[in-house]
Amino acid sequence: MSETIVAIATPPGSGAIAILRISGPEAIPLVDQLFQGNSRPPLMESRRAYLGTIVHEEQILDEVLLTIFRAPKSYTGEDVVEISGHGGALMIARLLEAVLRKGARLARPGEFTQRAYLHGKMDLTQAEAVMDLISAKTSHAQRIALEHRSGRLGQEMEKIKQELLKIVAHLEAFFDFPEDDITPEQGRLLRTRMESCRHQIVALLSTAEKGRLLRDGASLVLCGAPNVGKSSLLNKFLEMDRAIVSPTAGTTRDTIEEMTILGGFPFRIIDTAGIRLTEDLIEREGVLRAEKAIKNADDVLHLIDATDIEETMVPISEGELLIFNKVDLITNRASLQKKFPSALMISCATGEGMETLIATVIERAMGKTGPFNEATPSLLAINARHQDCLNRALNSIEKALVVEATHEPLELLAIDLHDALEAVGEVTGGVDSEEILGTIFSSFCIGK
């Protein structure tokens, strides 16, 4: 970790400013070899910008502003230097090259944040939130990321950890005096504490679904017979012509997936091949994929051609949202609605019914997670990694509860509680494994 790393911290392309970020023990001496100005980097004050030029091999590369953040008061907890240059792609690349020539190494994706974690500047949930903030596609996802960035989840985990530690300490006292039996009252206290931990973990686990839906988006499968207007509806959702709309049945042979935001919520909309019996091998493969997508979907929109109900009414499975499309072409709408009261009537051609459809789709997706809107106070929503750790912790606590209830030796109880503590600790850190850290930080961008 003692290597000095460098990366361009601003996005590729040209802009007003481009920033080079350098972190590590050699950051300041290294920049001292390149910077020319009224003050020398080792003598500069922290967190103050200094104007000067970067000169390499007797060539002026750029006029820059230099800012030094001395350890430990920096993003990574190490000495950090930021060089703000003019935002030309070539200029910043030449600055980067000069710094590399002086002995820094190019940072790996997420390495700055990984160093911040390893220097105790933030816990793992906060580090993950940095990435979530950068990749947030909706304001809800952004709010969750900000909440996690503030360390709220870490605080919740700390509470559970402290509670578990109290129980373990309680047990250790018994091991020191093995002749004393645990009294029924002490047994009850142990149990209450374990139940309380269990309760807190279950509450956090219940936010996982919300986290998944708000981060990755709910998957919405469009299904129905060929030609009912699935591709047209996908386009309507996306407000662009991504799928091929054609009057020939069976055009969409594969599944097409597109991400879109409806009413502030992310959705992955999957357009499937029309489901019908077919001899065409490629089309059959498409139908198989459609069936698989339906099985894994968060919601299924089942489209029927309102002008051709007999032909397009394929079997509807329970839970699917029934939609009659092409209502611009029919005159018997009232009787159709009476016959299918829960069905929605839309027209991809005129846009009629789309607002109600979108509101319904959001309500159905969020129905799974409880209401969620601007006023929702708690924005903790755990991710898949937190969920995995907490499931293991829950499992161990439940085992401990059984051990206590069946009056098995207290040593067994202690083992389960230690396992629970370890799993809870993994949420915020306490993870040294290169492999786990590598997996978490590799999804970051370089320079973060």
**Size of site (CB under 6 A) for ligand GDP:** 20
Does 231 contact ligand GDP by CB under 6 A? yes
Q: Give the neighbor-by-neighbor strand order of the sheet with 344-345.
A: 256-262, 265-271, 218-224, 299-305, 321-325, 344-345
With CB under 6 A as the contact rule, the residue among 114, 125, 232, 387 that binds ligand GDP is 232
Phi and psi dihedrals of 177, rounded to 5? -125, 70
Cβ–Cβ contacts within 10 Å for residue 159, how many? 13
Residue 50 or 237: which CB sits closer to ligand GDP?
A: 237
> Is 98:61 a contact under the CB 8 Å cutoff?
yes
Give the chain's length.
448
Query: What residues does 17 pair with on adjacent strands?
Result: 86
> Is 4:58 a contact under the CB 8 Å cutoff?
no
Does 328 contact ligand GDP by CB under 6 A? yes
CB of 335 to ligand GDP, least distance (A): 19
Site stretch for ligand GDP (CB under 6 A), options 14-22, 81-89, 163-171, 323-331:
323-331
Angstrom CA distances, 221 to 234, 369, 398, 399, stand at 10, 19, 37, 39
**If residue 399 lies in a helix (H) or strand (E), which one and from where to where?**
helix 384-405
CA proximity to 344, closest of 302, 385, 406: 302
With CB under 6 A as the contact rule, the residue among 49, 288, 329, 405 that binds ligand GDP is 329
Residue 4 or 347: which CB sits closer to ligand GDP?
A: 347
Residue 9 or 243: which CB sits closer to ligand GDP?
A: 243
Angstrom CA distances, 329 to 32, 227, 326, 334, 350, stand at 75, 15, 6, 13, 10
Residue 118 or 349: which CB sits closer to ligand GDP?
A: 349
CB of 286 to ligand GDP, least distance (A): 11
Residue 224 or 447: which CB sits closer to ligand GDP?
A: 224
Restricted to residues 158-187, the positions that interact with ligand GDP (CB under 6 A) are none
> Is 327:340 a contact under the CB 8 Å cutoff?
no
CB of 274 to ligand GDP, least distance (A): 5
Residue 331 or 373: which CB sits closer to ligand GDP?
A: 331
CB of 128 to ligand GDP, least distance (A): 38
Site stretch for ligand GDP (CB under 6 A), options 170-178, 180-188, 213-221, 325-333:
325-333
Restricted to residues 191-230, the positions that interact with ligand GDP (CB under 6 A) are 226-230
Residue 310 or 432: which CB sits closer to ligand GDP?
A: 310
With CB under 6 A as the contact rule, the residue among 92, 348, 380, 403 that binds ligand GDP is 348
What DSSP letter does each residue of 325-382 carry, written as one string? E-GGG-S-HHHHHHHSTT-EE--TTT-TTHHHHHHHHHHHHHHTT---STT-------
Site stretch for ligand GDP (CB under 6 A), options 74-82, 122-130, 345-353, 357-365:
345-353
CA proximity to 358, closest of 301, 296, 274: 301
Q: Which residue has the tokens 């996005």?
A: 11
Which residues lie near ligand GDP (CB under 6 A)? 226-232, 245-247, 251-252, 274, 325-326, 328-329, 347-349
